[in-house]
Structure 1
Amino acid sequence: MSAGLVALRLARRNVRRSRGRSALIMTMIGLPVLVIAAVLTLVQTMEVDPREGLVAELGTADARLVQAPKGTVLRQQPGGASWHPGGGDAAAAGSAEVAALLGPGTRLIPFNAAVLRLGTERVDALETDLRDPLTSGMMTLNEGRLPAAAHEVVVTPALGLRPGALLRPPGAAPLTVVGVAEHPHRPTLRKVVGPDLPLASMDELWSPHEYGSGWLAGTAKPVTWAGVPALNKAGLYVTSPAIIPGPRPFLLGVEYTVGLGAMVIMVVLETVLLAGPAFAVGLRRRRRELAEIAAQGGSARHLRTIVLADGLVLGGAATIVAGPLGIGAGVLGAQVAARWGGQVGPADVPWTPVLGVAALGLLAGIMAALVPAVQAARQDTVGVLAGRAPAVADRRGWPLLGVVLVLVGLGATVVARRQPGTVWVWAAAVLVMIGLVVLTPWLVRFTGRVAPRLRLPLRMSVRDAVRHRSRTASAVAAVMAVTATVVAMGIGAQSAFMDRRNAYTSARPTGTLAIWGGTMADGTWSRLRAEAVRQLPGVPLTAGYQANDAQGRRYALRYTVRWNGIRTRRTAAIGDQALLRLLQGRHDPQAAAALASGKAVVFDAAAVRDGKLVLRAGSTSGPPRKLEVPAVVATPAAEHQGGALLPRTLVEQAGFSTVERQLYAMYRPSADSTLGRDLAKVTPRVSVASEDGFSHVPSPGLWGWLAGALVLVVGGTLAATRLAAADMRPERSTMMAIGAPPGTLRMVVAGQALYISGLGALVGLGAGTVTGVALSRPMTTYGAGDPATIALPWPFLIAVVVGLPVLATTAALITRTRLPLAPRPL
């Protein structure tokens, strides 16, 4: 039998004999494999590409044809589609014309996708016959039956209705729910489907993939690009399997390669550092067995092979278990996530990346066993058989190598932070991380100098940690790597959030409703204003004005200012004292007096120089003009508010006339408000906007990363603590023999956990802060002159750097410490 097969048999026997340690190693190796495979599968499953989404749009039809609004110029090409109002008066295509365009053997069924009003609520609705074979697959019936008559509908589960319920659209007959059906990819969709629905007109919100009417077509031959121009000319937007592009070829760019390489190195490094101490536990326990093999003629190569076989067996077993579990978790997670919002496609596993991750896990298992294998080959056979502890020898050149790698990594970080994208920063961080890993044994020895100043339990813990530096350094480096990664991501995410908050700006206070009328006659504006008053009863409306030249051409008066380092163009408002009070949220006597005297009131201090505001008057049909007007700086109602207000007299002195074309109010429309559509019935040239303020929230993913760090830090620390407890059996037995209480023994074990997690967290904090600050520049700058935003999430950092060591120490305190008395060799 070959030495390799013998080593595998010994490894299998050792796995069965040490089930707890084997399970720990498999967990440490398999956890990254499981998480990465789950994330890859989840993302791939939740991504519904155009081909996967065809069934929900077309059913079994060969084409979906959506009629564009009258006068729309429509053009589809392989590179994309465009449509815009063309002003034509061509009549909409009828079913006979469409059938003729598609050729003989065509069968059409109509559909209309719009919204249905149910009291104050609006839900998506589809008017079509779900019993027709062409619609098969568009909805999946879960309960009841499909609608067969007018006023019968099916609803999606998100509406919370059962068969027999009634829907009461205003001004129409009630609709009876006869079934519950689910969208294939959007389980949270709120939708009503039936053959005869009182739908609201959606011409102003026409979208070929959301709202519009048309036909599902079954054709004798596929609808290809050759027939699309004629259908577009008839005002029909075409969706067909034959014109959906296939998957794009995968291109491996430089940045992608660097990012992938950095991720691979980090994953392997972290897995090796986590599983390394557990392999060292096995080496300690098998030291005598290996020495006996060496005494019977086993060579150093045989000993290395035996220990590496442990890594191969455990890494392979962990990968075999974690891979399928990760795939299953990803598919299940996609279904669960879709229930909270979003979409989900058929179960889709990206086999190439998943198999690569599996190979990575196997490689990590072998790499984690590499250092113990080298140590096993170099152990002193006589000393081990005599029961003497092996001597620890440091490699003199390693601290210097670690310092060089750290310095090179810091230099690369300085260069990388000025590059676009974050890939180069992470690549530089890998160099820093590797340098710190190499430097960790020296850090352990250096910090061990504080041991004489500590109390007895902690003094014994630190001295034991320094004596077994190979074991301690691996655990400290693992905690350091996790902490540095999480701290860097926390600082980057917080900086990006603060940059978004600082960059947010508005020209109106939060809670302001604005109604703008474009170029229109005075009579049209009067009707629009009257409709706005009717739609907003009891809401005070403040007038704003528009500047026109002598030929009636509309002009916008704009100025440029830097906000958060970015050049921002603002349009100055024109109004009176009432609009000034609305923009300031109070009565400001000085600003009111300046406006009354004909000066501009500006809320951007940087825009006013020497008491002047420079404006550019621009028009789509007239020549531009430059204006310089007197101005004063005032304080707006909101912190992130800018803008300027010009008095009508000032604008008229510049040669313009002013007409009322804007209305403002402190009013928040409800989510289902139809104000915009109701005003658009008077004239389509109206615009309605609501200022909702900065609504982003800090990334909740930070605390998810904290949970992952908790698992890795506590798990890695406890693995090293178990090894320390095994190595300290003689000392602990002696302490028990002389009457040491259990609390003292627990403190010795907990001291190991505190030392390992505390040192790793402190070093990781420094490394992570450097990387996080470097990440903040490419994540928060968008051009020359835009300063980087650096923000530290203090609660998050305290939870990582203080909370994780405290949890690891607490977990170690409950570790069993009482041992049976055993004789010590003298």
Structure 2
Amino acid sequence: MKTWLHSWRAAIRIARRDAWRSKGRSALVLAMIALPILGVSALDLTYRSSELSPTERADRMIGAADAQFRDPGYGGAPIFQDPIGEMSTTAKDYENTSWPSGPTDVTKTFPAGSTFLSDSSGTAKLTTKHGLLVTHVRELKAADPIARGITTLLEGRYPEKNDEVVATSRFLESSGLSVGSTLSARNFDRPYRIVGSYEIPDDLNAVQVNAVPGAFLAPYAKAVEKAGLQKPDISTTYLVRKSGGFTWNMVKELNTKGVIVASRAVILDPPATSEVPLYQKENWGNFESSAGANAAQLAAVGTVVGLAMLEICLLAGPAFAVGARRSRRQLGLVGANGGARSHIRAIVLSGGLVIGVAAAVTGTVLALILTKVLQPYLEETMGQRFGAFDIRPLEILGIALLAVLTGLLAAIVPAITASRQTVLASLTGRRGVRRSSRVLPLIGLAALLIGGAIALFGSMISQQFIVVAGGSAIAELGVVAMTPALVGLFGRAGRWLPLSPRLALRDAVRNRGRTAPAVAAVLAAVAGTVAVSTYMASEETQHRAEYTAQMPHGTVAAFVMEEGGRDVPAVREAIERYVPVDVRADVARVAVGKPSCQPWDSGPGCGRFEVVVPPANECPMYATIPGGGDASEKYTPEQRLKMITDDWRCKEGRSSGMYVSDGGLLVGDAALLKVLGLDEPATVKALADGKVVSFNPVNVDKNGMYGIKQITDLAAADKASEQGRPAPGKVVALPAYQVPGDQKSYGVQALMTPATAKAAGLATAPLGTYASTDRLPDTEARQKLDGELTKLGSNVDLRVEEGFVNDNSLILLSLAIFAGLVTVGAAGIATGLAQADAEADLKTLAAVGAPPRVRRTLSGFQCGVVAAMGVLLGSAAGVLPAMGLRLNEERQQMRWHEDAVAQGWSAASEVPYVPIVIPWETLAGLLVAVPVGAALLAALVTRSRGALSRREAT
């Protein structure tokens, strides 16, 4: 035991001195191992620090209160909730009856002796330095001890008077205001002074202002309603304190009164799943990930970590081999002085151990320092503050041990190779005869076949992508194991090459021990790049085929539905100012009830309209059944497929496209037809004659009439819909012109002029504008237009039809650059090892009169040969996983398509298109540019002259 300890101690000292002597090589290997350790450790620290403890979560959610009470809006009906209070539903199922709705007086459910603090919120358009900004307004007495922890004061103080507010730092940044500035709201001229800034630890991006309770929301709502606009919604929760807190049984008792309760005691000590009634309801128990899903995630993480370690070992292994080759005289002296082969193996392995430990320490220390230094930036990126800087020693130690293990694994093959050399060969520099293993290629071939079979099973039979990924990883490892044999096959191509590349290729084939790991490293990097590139190129082709233009190319459209289209004129003016407009077409919508109501509003005085579909034109699958029910259930999947493919009433026709208004009905003039390319003479004449121009034959009856139903009683309409009856309302029938042919109308199903709408007694409200352009607006014009629209404070739906845009081109370029860097690095390491091996040959060439450039040329071709072999093999290996994943996706999408057809969805009439596309441009760049670049780089950094050495005495 003592002898073993002393021998390893000596081996480590020798390895440490050798690593210090070869600082460049040691730094390279250390960086390769330490960088992944740095990244994983920093990720672990960031994740654990951002993961809130139950106490921290309770503080940020309910402050110092014992519970938060909230009204779910079920009119006091009993409910079930989850322990945290984020999910809830009614205790009773309301399948064939209307669901309860309405407010609940939450204050009446407070236990006796409780104290509470109200927390109200709503939205308002506040005036800023740039215009208007839609802002979340909160009324919470933030200075009260009950609210401690919900917000963090950054500057100034919390408001104390009714004309004071405090704003988040993000609001001040977006608005251009500062502490001390005044602000007001649109339709509400009352001024407020900003007395401080704060942040919400759980939402650093919140654009919010805070006032004292009752100071803003209620008077603002009255002012807006007085202006004839829709009253904004205001929601209120209550922070409640009670001696003893609220247990889970108390929470369930309060649920019977229709109140959601987020209790501090329950958050800190949640009940078992079996004690939560919500989880016992159907479709509510699948909130937890299954064991299979967790196992799949662990398998995926393990696969990625394993491949990363393999990549590092393949890159670092040749570097250790370079060190062993340069130290072979030293290792020979160890053998000459009685050292055994185990001592030589220990010395080389100690090099991996020393570098691994140094990389572990370096990576871990840098991760701690960088994560702490970058904590504010990480928090800003994540949008929330860390709970605490949480260091898990066991996790950090486990990650660090990966570095040590990687260093040892990378040094195993060089250690075995060095120990097999005789003492005489080591001292004289002779290489001896090297034979490659015959077993390893057979093992690699078996792994390739087994992995390919697993990937094929995953893509054709299984529905788990992890099976495809795992099989592909095994197959790639098999190719790596076969690399020495494959390198030998490349040697047969040397007969067709010129002298320098032929010498480089034969040298690489003759010395497979140093060539194969470098080629395998390039193979692994390129295979991953090719796999991702193939997958993304296939997805791009699929998305390009599936892309549906919303408007003719180069068209700009903007819609505003808020406040009765009050800001539409300003939007039209901004488009004229910043967009090269050719033809502009202004459009409006049919409005029922108060003009300020939006189409989806259900408040007092609001209504909606429906386009009447004649009974003869109604698709049988979507027919209304008295008493409710699904008409499609009467038909078989085959009948449904026939309907959505052959029956014109069930197909999504030319009128499909983007949403423009209810029923696709717009109010405009012939300019819209010109912008959309639908301005045929007959269509323009029909519109001028006062007819409704229809692009969907389903909406026109046999008499050529187009029906519009105005619904003013929304409650009665909803009740009729639940009972399967038509909604009550006044129907206006207008003469229509059905546009013939299959012209695409981009979501516009019908168009009428303002004069036609007025004559029919239909009220209208401004909606927006369409504009055709001479050319697409450039980036500068888009930014100016976006800034101008932001000043309005309205929710403007701006669309520019640019055609299909590929968002993955930059990613593909980054992957190619990454693969190129790894390839050049691996080939450079192999070239250094080749130079260490070929030093005697180069000196011989110099002695016989070879020009100085031969050394540089030979080094360049040695590097290029390794890169070319690795890129070629990696390109072939990388296509397999991408093909497997795409075939798996095709099966899934076909299954979804069949299910959709069985349910009668008209959108499922087209069979999914899931192509497999090889990115030839990326492959060409890898196959040509990377080897050539690696060769040129190696030639440039290699010295052309080498000193001649004296013949050693024998």
Q: TM-score category by the smaller chain?
A: 0.7 to 0.9
- Give the C-alpha shift of residue 116 in structure 1: 3.6
**Which residue in 2 is equivalent to 1:472?**
515
Mapped contact 1:65–1:214 kept (Cα < 8 A): yes
| CA gap 1:91/1:727 in 2 versus in 1, 3 angstroms | closer
**Which residue in 2 is equivalent to 1:812?**
938
**Which residue in 2 is equivalent to 1:403?**
445
Find the aligned partners of 1:326 and 1:810 in 2 and give their Cα distance. 35
Q: How does 1:509-528 map to 2 (within 5 A)?
A: 511=557, 526-528=592-594
- Give the C-alpha shift of residue 696 in structure 1: 8.7
Instruction: Give CA deviations for 1:155-179 in whole Å, capped at 9, x if unaligned.
Output: 2222324322222323243222232
Q: How does 1:568-579 map to 2 (within 5 A)?
A: none
Correspondence for 2:159 among 147, 162, 172: 147
Q: TM-score, normalised by structure 2?
A: 0.68
| CA gap 1:587/1:468 in 2 versus in 1, 3 angstroms | same
Mapped contact 1:417–1:777 kept (Cα < 8 A): yes
**Which residue in 2 is equivalent to 1:684?**
none
- Give the C-alpha shift of residue 772 in structure 1: 1.3
Find the aligned partners of 1:806 and 1:813 in 2 and give their Cα distance. 11
**Which residue in 1 is equivalent to 2:184?**
168
Amino acid at match of 1:150: N
Find the aligned partners of 2:321 and 2:444 in 1 and give their Cα distance. 23
Correspondence for 2:418 among 370, 373, 376: 376
Question: Which secondary structure state, in structure 2, belongs to the residue aligned with residue 320 of structure 1?
Answer: helix
**Which residue in 2 is equivalent to 1:437?**
480
Instruction: Give CA deviations for 1:715-767 in whole Å, capped at 9, x if unaligned.
Output: 32222222222222223334455665655433322222222222211211111
| CA gap 1:733/1:265 in 2 versus in 1, 3 angstroms | same
Find the aligned partners of 1:699 and 1:59 in 2 and give their Cα distance. 47
Find the aligned partners of 1:350 and 1:487 in 2 and give their Cα distance. 37
Correspondence for 2:88 among 57, 82, 86: 82
| CA gap 1:632/1:331 in 2 versus in 1, 3 angstroms | farther
Correspondence for 1:110 among 92, 113, 118: 118
**Which residue in 2 is equivalent to 1:239?**
262
Amino acid at match of 1:432: A
Mapped contact 2:76–2:103 kept (Cα < 8 A): no
Find the aligned partners of 2:867 and 2:37 in 1 and give their Cα distance. 24
**Which residue in 2 is equivalent to 1:546?**
612
Amino acid at match of 2:194: V
- Give the C-alpha shift of residue 277 in structure 1: 0.4
- Give the C-alpha shift of residue 383 in structure 1: 2.0
1:758 partnered with 2:878: no
**Which residue in 2 is equivalent to 1:71?**
75
- Give the C-alpha shift of residue 512 in structure 1: 7.8
- Give the C-alpha shift of residue 299 in structure 1: 1.8
Find the aligned partners of 1:553 and 1:663 in 2 and give their Cα distance. 35
Find the aligned partners of 2:678 and 2:378 in 1 and give their Cα distance. 49
1:822 partnered with 2:916: no
Question: Which secondary structure state, in structure 2, belongs to the residue aligned with residue 282 of structure 1?
Answer: helix
Mapped contact 2:592–2:763 kept (Cα < 8 A): no
Question: Which secondary structure state, in structure 2, belongs to the residue aligned with residue 823 of structure 1?
Answer: coil
Amino acid at match of 2:248: W
Find the aligned partners of 2:242 and 2:695 in 1 and give their Cα distance. 65
- Give the C-alpha shift of residue 427 in structure 1: 0.9
| CA gap 1:314/1:340 in 2 versus in 1, 3 angstroms | closer
- Give the C-alpha shift of residue 149 in structure 1: 2.9
| CA gap 1:744/1:155 in 2 versus in 1, 3 angstroms | farther
Mapped contact 1:421–1:779 kept (Cα < 8 A): no
1:287 partnered with 2:328: yes
Q: How does 1:154-233 map to 2 (within 5 A)?
A: 154-158=166-170, 159-160=172-173, 161-170=177-186, 171-195=188-212, 197-199=215-217, 212-232=235-255
| CA gap 1:23/1:635 in 2 versus in 1, 3 angstroms | same
- Give the C-alpha shift of residue 471 in structure 1: 0.7
- Give the C-alpha shift of residue 114 in structure 1: 2.4
**Which residue in 1 is equivalent to 2:914?**
788
Instruction: Give CA deviations for 1:162-200 in whole Å, capped at 9, x if unaligned.
Output: 322222323243222232323223333322223265236
1:715 partnered with 2:833: no
Instruction: Give CA deviations for 1:323-379 in whole Å, capped at 9, x if unaligned.
Output: 343455456667435535644533445666554433332222111111111112211
**Which residue in 1 is equivalent to 2:677?**
586
User: Structure 1 residues 732-741 or 55-64, which shifts more?
Assistant: 732-741
**Which residue in 1 is equivalent to 2:428?**
386
| CA gap 1:696/1:724 in 2 versus in 1, 3 angstroms | closer
Amino acid at match of 2:842: R
Q: TM-score, normalised by structure 1?
A: 0.78
Amino acid at match of 1:808: A
Amino acid at match of 2:237: G
Mapped contact 1:64–1:215 kept (Cα < 8 A): yes
Correspondence for 2:506 among 454, 459, 463: 463
Paired-residue identity, %? 28
1:276 partnered with 2:317: yes
Mapped contact 2:73–2:102 kept (Cα < 8 A): no
Mapped contact 2:856–2:939 kept (Cα < 8 A): yes
Find the aligned partners of 1:250 and 1:17 in 2 and give their Cα distance. 53
Amino acid at match of 2:69: L
- Give the C-alpha shift of residue 139 in structure 1: 2.5
Correspondence for 2:137 among 122, 125, 131: 125
Find the aligned partners of 1:34 and 1:672 in 2 and give their Cα distance. 44
Amino acid at match of 2:123: V
- Give the C-alpha shift of residue 47 in structure 1: 5.7
Q: How does 1:694-773 map to 2 (within 5 A)?
A: 697-698=807-808, 705-706=815-816, 708-737=818-847, 743-773=853-883
Instruction: Give CA deviations for 1:644-682 in whole Å, capped at 9, x if unaligned.
Output: 8899xxxxxxxxxx99899996648967988799xxxxx
Amino acid at match of 1:586: G
User: Structure 1 residues 116-125 or 736-745, which shifts more?
Assistant: 736-745
Find the aligned partners of 1:821 and 1:83 in 2 and give their Cα distance. 87
Mapped contact 1:602–1:632 kept (Cα < 8 A): no
5+ residue gaps, structure 2, are 91-97, 273-287, 563-589, 602-607, 617-623, 633-639, 657-662, 699-719, 727-737, 753-759, 771-785, 898-911
Amino acid at match of 1:155: A
Amino acid at match of 1:307: V
Find the aligned partners of 1:314 and 1:259 in 2 and give their Cα distance. 28
- Give the C-alpha shift of residue 429 in structure 1: 1.2
Amino acid at match of 2:126: L
Question: Which secondary structure state, in structure 2, belongs to the residue aligned with residue 746 of structure 1?
Answer: helix
**Which residue in 2 is equivalent to 1:34?**
38
- How many aligned residue pairs are there? 759
| CA gap 1:529/1:128 in 2 versus in 1, 3 angstroms | closer
Instruction: Give CA deviations for 1:518-547 in whole Å, capped at 9, x if unaligned.
Output: xxxxxx9632568679x9xxxxxx997134
**Which residue in 2 is equivalent to 1:634?**
742
Find the aligned partners of 2:19 and 2:101 in 1 and give their Cα distance. 79
Amino acid at match of 1:546: V
| CA gap 1:186/1:801 in 2 versus in 1, 3 angstroms | farther
Find the aligned partners of 1:205 and 1:694 in 2 and give their Cα distance. 40
Mapped contact 2:591–2:765 kept (Cα < 8 A): no
1:307 partnered with 2:348: yes
RMSD: 4.9
Amino acid at match of 2:423: T
Mapped contact 1:577–1:592 kept (Cα < 8 A): no
Amino acid at match of 2:184: R
Correspondence for 2:465 among 397, 402, 422: 422
1:22 partnered with 2:17: no
Amino acid at match of 1:295: A
Instruction: Give CA deviations for 1:420-476 in whole Å, capped at 9, x if unaligned.
Output: 232111111122211211221122222233334434443333232222211111011
User: Structure 1 residues 157-166 or 782-791, which shifts more?
Assistant: 782-791
User: Structure 1 residues 124-133 or 447-456, which shifts more?
Assistant: 447-456
- Give the C-alpha shift of residue 589 in structure 1: 5.2
Mapped contact 1:603–1:635 kept (Cα < 8 A): no
Find the aligned partners of 2:181 and 2:14 in 1 and give their Cα distance. 68
1:483 partnered with 2:529: no
Find the aligned partners of 1:173 and 1:530 in 2 and give their Cα distance. 22
Find the aligned partners of 1:702 and 1:337 in 2 and give their Cα distance. 26
